[in-house]
Amino acid sequence: MEFLRSVCPHDCPDTCGLLVGREGGRVVSVRGDPDHPFTRGAVCVKVAHYPERIYSPLRVTRPLRRTGKKGEGRFAPISWDEALDEIAQRYMEIAHKYGPEAILPYSYAGTMGLVHFHGGHAFFHRLGATRLKRTICSSAVEAGFAVTFGRIPTTDIESTVHSDLIIIWGSNTISTNMHAWPFFLEARRRGAIIAVIDPYRNRTARQADIHIQLRPGTDAALAMSIMSVLVEEGLIDKDFIKTHTVGFERLKPRLADYTPAKVKGLTAIPESAIREIARLYGKARAPYIRLGWGPGRQLRGGMAVRTIAVLPALIGATKKKGGGITRSTSAAFDLNLKPLTREDLGPQGVRSVNMVELGNALLRLDDPPVMAMHVYHSNPAVVAPQSAMVMKGLSREDLFTVVQEHLLTETALYADLVLPGASFLESTDLYRSYGHYYLQMANPVIEPVGEARPTLEIFKALAGRMGFSDDCFKMTEEAIIREMLKTDSPYLRGINYEELRTGRPVRLRVPENPLEGGFKTPSGKVEIYSQTLADQGLDPLPDGTPSLDVEGMGKYPLQLITPPRHQFLNSTFNEIEDLREQAGMPSLMIHPRDAEQRGIKSGMEVRVWNDRGECFLNADVTDRTGLGVTVIEGLYWPRFMKGNLGINQLTSQCLTDMGESCAFHCNLVEVGVARQLPADEVGL
């Protein structure tokens, strides 16, 4: 057996370096690359099972044409020429009859490889199709943080070994950012305290020294309350505030409304606990915040993140070795994507559809209606909110749906044509990270399984059939990567293709403290007061108003959050039986008092519902979650849940205050003991 270098392609900040075992032309093992400076030879429980994913019985190895009703999963194999000819013909007919905006691409982070993530962009721009706003995950967090700091690289997690206080805010690090945890543990070995702020006691909270269990949607109120203590007790860095921030004096009067005594009821955090974490933060030598995605997945998520981001500025944490804040490292990977995406090929004024609002787009959009959808690197039947509407839209017989996939997923079951996509082990790509500062390239480890093709190759073939002759449709993966490296970014200076093609991680030219160089806001400072927000008619100051599910207010008493499950990554890895067995039955965490009021005991099947939909789960009565708060860790494919009803039946298409993202953690529901489902409704 030989081992070849590769890179994990999944939507995770760690972007692991891998060693892939190959024998007889097949992948037989996947393990971590011990030479990677950040991931250091470890892989998560999910990626360790990758050979089972590559050779899954659900793997699509030939183009398929639907022969039954949508959703039945009955298909017949056809040739690539037949499939591509049919797609091109249907797209031309739809564009002629309705206009090209009747065609909707739908893709996201099924791969984080830059070539294939963007592999269809130029095609759909050239076609004049509706443009997709790819905002479902991180846009609120990005927008909120940028208001305060600008779009800049943030604190290097590797430097946190020098911190004496690590606050993990809204991130289950052990499950979703596992390679950061050893750095945090090293800091603890040197004397640091690890605190977790999260609505439920997840794996990371159970390993922390302190767990602040706040009510969902009150992150901004907690941050404001911490600020009030810092100011009240003189724990702020006045020199840093004077030199590097704008708007502090405007903020101070507002803090009077957020003292620990005033917010303890709102946040469900005792006054003493708020004061304790504030004092620890204000007195620490090098305090550090790992800011996760949880706070941003609320309707006021942008404001929550923007408010939390003010905290390091009040105490000058960004100038201290080991201190600061990590939101994302992605701003340092300023690669040249224009030759790949080619936005210039499209006509002006083309409409956009937000991917969060897919259900609305498929059922309500007109002038023109969506008559074709091309799905790649995504599984919207599982991941898109308000699933009932999405599934109704996917069931439309007049909707021509193409799905490029590795596996016969829930979305693929509704396709008219399924195209077999190559995996990351069967294609070439370049990978940036949003959790560390190493750029990596991966070459194919095996030949594509069956007739699978890489994303870029599929769209180049379609472009040829559509008569698109632009140069971008002739470029190879290597040529595109070479073009990406043509950038004037100081972070990428001197990095070349020859160095990357070895497969070894290449460190960006990022300083030890990326935040020492200043802030990329209009003022060049940390903006406590934001004129940008004021110009948009938004509150220019941090604000602690909680996020609430406005559609469920007055109807449903329990909050619901839907964080990731340790064994899955969004909807990926459901196909692996061993991981499903480790994950156990889909379950709902509910507080003992809430359960008692409803006659619910652990192990009972419960129905969870609101006006958007319902699903059925096993009850887990536990104090790991707070009173009035329920938790469903996901995402299970609906076929593995009762009634084929997934968790996103309960989530909303309402958009966040900034970034137009999805408020996956902002839901109101009711829970009750389930009725017995008829046998033909049971999806197990």
Do 569 and 487 fall into the same domain?
no
Would you place residue 266 in the very low, low, confident or very high pLDDT band (cuts 50, 70, 90)?
very high
Give a yes or no: residue 265 inside a domain.
yes
3-state secondary structure (DSSP) of residue 561: strand
The first and second tokens of residue 580, run together, are 């499903």
Query: What's the confidence (pLDDT) of residue 516?
Result: 87
**Is there a domain that residue 395 lies in?**
yes
Distance, first Cα to last Cα, the chain: 38
550 lies in some domain: no
For 265, residues 6+ apart whose C-beta sits below 8 A from its C-beta are none
Mean pLDDT of the chain: 97
What's 33's domain CATH number? Answer: 3.30.200.210
pLDDT at 682: 36
Res 684: pLDDT: 32
356/489 same-domain check? yes
CATH number for the domain spanning 629: value is 2.40.40.20
Assess whether pLDDT exceeds 50 at residue 611.
Answer: yes
Indicate which CATH number applies to the domain containing 102. Answer: 3.40.50.740
Query: Is 415 among the domain residues?
Result: yes
Residues 19 and 35 in one domain: yes
pLDDT tens, position by position, 98-150: 999 999 999 999 999 999 999 999 999 999 999 999 999 999 999 999 999 99
Q: How far apart are CA 489 and CA 432, in angstroms?
A: 14
Is the model's pLDDT at 683 over the cut of 70?
A: no
- Determine phi and psi for 17, rounding to 5 degrees: -80, 135
Place 676 in a pLDDT band, splitting at 50, 70 and 90.
Answer: low
Average pLDDT for 369-375: 98
Token couple for 262 = 């005033």
Q: Which domain holds residue 455?
A: 64-130+333-507
Q: Is 16 left (phi over 0), alpha (psi -120 to 50) or beta?
A: beta
Is the same domain home to 442 and 487? yes
Query: Which pLDDT value is given to residue 141?
Result: 98
Contact in structure between 21 and 28 (CB atoms under 8 Å): yes
151 with 245, same domain? yes
Is residue 543 assigned to a domain?
Answer: no
Instruction: Kindly state the tokens that stand for 299.
Output: 């309707």
Task: Find the mean pLDDT for residues 257-273.
Answer: 98
| CATH code for position 292 | 3.40.228.10
Residues 388 and 502 in one domain: yes
Same domain membership, residue 372 and residue 491: yes
Residue 587 falls inside a structural domain: yes
Average pLDDT score over residue span 340-364: 97
581-609 burial by CB neighbour count: b if 16+ within 10 A, else e?
eebeebbbbbbeebbeebebeeebbbbbb
Q: Is pTM, for the whole model, over 0.95?
A: yes
Read off the pLDDT of residues 425-451 as tens digits, 9 standing for 90 and up. Answer: 999 999 999 999 999 999 999 999 999
Tell me 424's DSSP state: G
pLDDT score at 517: 84
Check pLDDT > 50 for residue 681: no
Report the alpha-carbon distance of residue 637 to residue 160 in Å, rounded: 37
Residue type, 668: L
Q: Per-residue pLDDT for 551 more than 90?
A: yes
Residues 208 and 277 in one domain: yes
Indicate if 364 and 262 belong to the same structural domain.
Answer: no
**Is 399 found in the same domain as 265?**
no
Looking at the domain assignment, is residue 94 inside a domain?
Answer: yes
Whether 146 and 177 share a structural domain:
yes
- Of 36, 54, 72, the domain-final residue: 54
Give per-residue pLDDT as tens, 648-657. 999 999 999 9
Give the side-chain half-sphere CA count within 13 A for 114: 27
pLDDT band at 679 (very low <50, low <70, confident <90, very high): very low
Number of domains in the chain: 4
* pLDDT tens, position by position, 496-541: 999 999 999 999 999 999 998 899 999 999 999 999 999 999 999 9
Residues 502 and 454 in one domain: yes
- Is 651 among the domain residues? yes
Please tell me whether residue 163 adopts helix, strand or coil conformation: coil
- Per-residue pLDDT of 473-486, as tens digits, reads 999 999 999 999 99
